[in-house]
Chains A and B, each alone.
Chain A
Amino acid sequence: MIPAFLVLASSSTLVHLSAVDLVIIVFYFALVLAIGMYLKEQANTGEDFFMAGREMTAWVAGLAFLSANLGSLELMGWAGNAYKYGILAAHWYWIGAIPAMLFLALVMMPFYHICKTHSVPGYLNLRFGQSAQTLSSISFAFMTVLMSGINMYAMAVVMKVVLGWNINVSILVSSVTVAIYVALGGLRSAIFNEVLQFFLIWAGALLIPILGLVEAGGWSGLKAKILQNLTEQHVANPGAYTHLWSTLGDFSKNPMGINWVGIVFGLGAVISMGYWTTDFLVIQRVLSAKDLRSAKLAPIIGAAFKMCVPFIVILPGLLGLALLRDPHTGSLLRLVPANLAWSDAGQAQGLHGYDEVLPLMLARYCGPGLLGLGITALIAGFMSGMAGNVSAFATVWTYDIYGALINKNASDEFKVKMGRVVTLAGVGVSILTAYLVMHAQSIMDYVQALFSFFIAPLFGTVLLGMLWKRATPAGGFWGLFAGTLSSIGMYTWVKLDPGAVRYVALSMQAQDQAQNMFRALWCCSICVVVTVVVSLMTKPKPDAELTGLVYGLTAIPHEEHVSLFHSPTFWAVVTGLAFVILQIIFW
């Protein structure tokens, strides 16, 4: 039985938990708290608390690197996108991640590791000075807690719809648990729990695609069923839902309204590179690696597993297209946008949102026990994402805002205390944001775009900083500023005049995701152009000040003492080949 205080409207929920399911969920909460308590004694110095002592192995850092990104909304949201856009959604896991992760490992990680920075804004300070650091750290801190709160609210809504749990209880229980284990053990505790959560996510979600493929009659049976169902429903381009590249020659030939230029250059070359190489939320995990080889191997290990994630995220979305039927009428079930499904009218009609496809598939195949494990996987995903946000926020606040702008002489002991307090405060602000969103839900429509304003230009700034020694502090700051401003400008332009989408995204058919891709491409280009022009007009830093920060002025340790099977380059090539093969198979 579910405790009464958790129940909101159990009769109208998607799934019903049994006692064993509840035991599994409670055991998970107890275990993550126990890990936090156990690791409290190992978080005494700043390096321990914020950098996990810089002693993580490649496997631990690599799995945490991936897990911090595997939030539950990532799982449910992309399963929903797969239902909406078909296999095109897999681009966000393959070309939208793998090349960037390998680039991070082989090209950028040496600079991050050698300069011993605590954060990405910290690197900007060393390379471009305090102006760029301040702009980057304040925008990152602001967006991190905001995103954390919005994810918290969205997760609580899903828990309400799926399980009937009270929104307040969901928010408080999960966020307080994260606050306790991160405040106690710092980054080490966050990382350990992220590795645990990684295993739980796979254990809880992997059964869905396995059983789904059995029911659908394998991949060929799945494709045939999707084609048949979408044709019956008169959906345009039904064949495009199971092809990755062959429909990207024309905006009108695929459900996303995008072409290959947007995917390759907007997603693969800018958004993905920006996120995976400069977003401190994920970079912090790799900075905790014990040596340079581990720091280079960690993103490669993350990339190898990232390539497999579509199996537990995209495939369930496609299986939903093929197999989901109304249990009462037996007719095909059509999922709808969340705002429609979760409205009072939608709830009265029994509609389900796109993001519910994963829980729907979970309820389809998983009985008592397995259901508890699946729900635990979703909760674990949420908590790993939130812990990532909170620990990154605490570090950036302590080192790049408080330590750089308010008290430059703070002691190490004080920084650890500050880190603990800021962790709790970050969770508190996230909770407030969640309630703010609850009363003004339109904010959710804007914040995802707001986040992208800062990531794409930041990539241009960091990349030029690492690879071009002529880039100057003024160039770095004004390039970042102009890139961010132009992204906001394009977004506002399209909001005020929807017809402008034909200029920003090159097509009137471009959907939100396609617009994001092209906006990122343009603003990163503007950032690069402004950085180059301003740099050429201003005085560069002397070479001596750039040692350890820029290509050509940094001695990178060679790897000849390791065998082939221990070489990051070898595993990057293997991962890259597997990536290419996947593109060909699902072309």
Chain B
Amino acid sequence: MKTGGSLSIWFFIGVCLLVNGVLIFATGIYEVAHPPESRVVLYDLHANIWWGGLLLILGLLYSLHFSPAKERARIAGKS
């Protein structure tokens, strides 16, 4: 896909998911170590750990697969 330059839209999405995943996952770990006084419903499922982890993995995969270096190589290969 020509995206204008060497950055693909999927790379931006990867970075976004990665940053959000890291922040949410880290917050989840922190909450396990320091349980909050007021807790959300189903707190014991620790949704922020597994949901944050999922976003982190997806973001990492997208960021690497659509990284600027790979995108440049793809464009060079086509031309």
Q: Is the CB of B5 within 8 A of A60?
A: no
Chain A CB within 8 A of B60 CB: no
| A368 cross-chain contacts in B, Cβ below 8 A | 27, 31, 36, 48
Given the interface pairs A38-B7, A203-B55, the reply to whether A373 lies near B20 with Cβ below 8 Å is: yes
| B27 cross-chain contacts in A, Cβ below 8 A | 20, 367-369
Given the interface pairs A203-B20, A369-B48, the reply to whether A38 lies near B5 with Cβ below 8 Å is: yes
| B52 cross-chain contacts in A, Cβ below 8 A | 369-370
Chain B CB within 8 A of A45 CB: no
Q: Is the CB of B4 within 8 A of A369?
A: no
Residues A41-70 near B (CB distance < 8 A): 41-42, 53, 55-57, 60
**Most chain A CB within a 10 A radius of its CB, from B2, B5, B31, B51:** B51
Chain B CB within 8 A of A207 CB: yes
CB contacts between A and B, total, < 8 Å = 94
Q: Is the CB of A369 within 8 A of B23?
A: yes
Q: Is the CB of B4 within 8 A of A39?
A: yes
Chain B CB within 8 A of A142 CB: no
Chain A CB within 8 A of B33 CB: no
| B47 cross-chain contacts in A, Cβ below 8 A | 207, 211, 365-367, 370
Query: Once bound together, how far apart are the Cα atoms of A366 and B48, in whole Å?
Result: 8
Which of B1, B13, B42 meets A211, CB within 8 Å? B42
Chain B CB within 8 A of A352 CB: no
Q: Is the CB of A367 within 8 A of B41?
A: no
Chain B CB within 8 A of A188 CB: yes
Chain A CB within 8 A of B40 CB: yes
| B1 cross-chain contacts in A, Cβ below 8 A | 56-57, 60
Chain B CB within 8 A of A364 CB: yes
Chain B CB within 8 A of A192 CB: yes
Chain B: interface residue count, which band? 20 to 34
Considering only CB atoms, which chain A residue lies closest to B28 in the complex? Answer: A369
Which of B2, B7, B9, B31 meets A367, CB within 8 Å? B31
Q: Is the CB of B40 within 8 A of A199?
A: no
| B48 cross-chain contacts in A, Cβ below 8 A | 367-370
Chain B CB within 8 A of A508 CB: no
| A366 cross-chain contacts in B, Cβ below 8 A | 40, 47
Chain B CB within 8 A of A230 CB: no
Query: Once bound together, how far apart are the Cα atoms of A42 and B7, in whole Å?
Result: 12
Q: Is the CB of A195 within 8 A of B45?
A: no
Residues B24-58 near A (CB distance < 8 A): 24, 26-28, 31, 36, 39-43, 45, 47-48, 51-52, 55
Query: Once bound together, how far apart are the Cα atoms of A214 and B51, in whole Å?
Result: 15
Given the interface pairs A41-B5, A196-B16, A207-B51, the reply to whether A215 lies near B23 with Cβ below 8 Å is: no
Query: Once bound together, how far apart are the Cα atoms of A24 and B4, in whole Å?
Result: 27
Shortest Cβ distance from residue B79 to the other chain A in the assembled complex, whole angstroms: 15
Chain B CB within 8 A of A261 CB: no
Chain B CB within 8 A of A27 CB: yes
Considering only CB atoms, which chain A residue lies closest to B62 in the complex? Answer: A199
Q: Is the CB of A192 within 8 A of B9?
A: yes
24 sample A-B contacts, Cβ–Cβ < 8 Å, listed by A number: A20-B27, A24-B23, A31-B15, A35-B12, A41-B5, A60-B1, A188-B4, A196-B9, A199-B16, A203-B55, A211-B41, A214-B42, A214-B45, A215-B41, A364-B40, A367-B39, A368-B27, A369-B23, A369-B24, A369-B26, A369-B52, A370-B24, A372-B23, A373-B20
Interface residues of A (CB under 8 A from B): 20, 23-24, 27-28, 31, 35, 38-39, 41-42, 53, 55-57, 60, 188, 192, 195-196, 199-200, 203, 207, 211, 214-215, 363-370, 372-373, 376
Given A39-B4, A203-B55, A214-B45, 6 additional A-B pairs, CB 8 A:
A20-B23, A24-B23, A211-B47, A365-B42, A369-B48, A376-B20
For the complex of A and B, the 3 pairs showing the least CB-CB separation, nearest first, are: A42-B4, A369-B27, A369-B24
